[in-house]
Structure 1
Amino acid sequence: MDKIGHRYVIQYFYLKGLSPSGSKSALDSTLGESAPSYAMIKNWVAQFKRGRTSCEDEHRTGQQNEVTTPETFKKIHKIILDDRRLKVRELADIVGLSKSAIHRILTENLDMKKLSARWVPRLLTIDHKQHRADVSMNCLAMFTKKIKTKFLRRFITMDEKWVHHYTLETKQQSKQWTSRGEPASKKAKTTLSAGKVMASVFLDARGKTRKSSKTVDIEKKFVLQ
């Protein structure tokens, strides 16, 4: 349901005598996440109380006709594809339209939304993936040939964690505009920096944990602090 449809439903509930909170509960139970916000419902109920009868957008003086033209959509889409991290305010300044018009074009006409980058351990190349597959096949072959318990006793797993000296980019900062069905962008958890140390932990089949000297030093620092 589009925003005009929401307004008609709000008007219907208002004429029935429902309060804004009652209208919000009824819309949430029917529409779920696509239901309008409480602030929007409260605003339109106030307008209906003041005597407004139309649910359509009122014509604004000086409103630009090119807002709804396909050429404007293509222009905005091209700008977004060149820099997917642009804010609505920045895009409005570039195109010369209001922020509300830009947001409406992005979400309704271009069917786009801003998503945070999905964290992955590393951005692997084709060679990296093939090497990991080869190592896994070799380990599986040795596992089937030798006695399983003997093989597992010699197998040591290892995990590592970068401890940074500064705060990395947040998920909010990594948001980019994407079209419906387009996957979110990816970024590696570890980035090049001068201020970081590596914490490493090793674990064998018997549950014995072994730590690198750097990991022990890091833990000592945290305890002392």
Structure 2
Amino acid sequence: MEKEQYRSVIRSLFLDEKSRSEIKERLDAVYGDSSPSMATVKNWFNEFQRGRTSVFDEPRPSAPKTATTECNVTKFHDLILADRRLKVREIAETVGISKDRVGHTLHEILGMRKLLPRWVPRLVTSVNKRNRETTSEQCLTLFKRNPKKFLRRFVTIDETWIHWYTPETKEQGVE
């Protein structure tokens, strides 16, 4: 049974001028172990006594989500690119928001993870893809203007990771 349905029963019994304990006894008799607790019965009895008529939850105010703005995401990314050994606590202190939000932004939005003492991108993120797309479009425009001049100046780079040393323990990889 939904909680609103229990509240409706409590309200109905309240309107029949039953006491809190009588309402609890009736709920236990009908619903057994699945009936609401005495604390819940007391809470809703008091609410109805104060004049409340609705059995539905009222919208709760929540804090605006300002920590994961585009500006903060860019700040985090710039800080990590400048020093990949930063700790979440240090980033939180620098930007002035909670460690939880910094961790969420790094892991979920930027797709980074801590590999030994450094932050590394997990996969190519949407930001990386957008940057690559923009760069490719600019290169294509330059190529269409003058192909010979463009090819003479164009340099490509292969993004290959070469592991020349694999530490056996975390302590060896700290350096």
TM over 0.5: no
More strand by share: 1
Larger Rg: 2
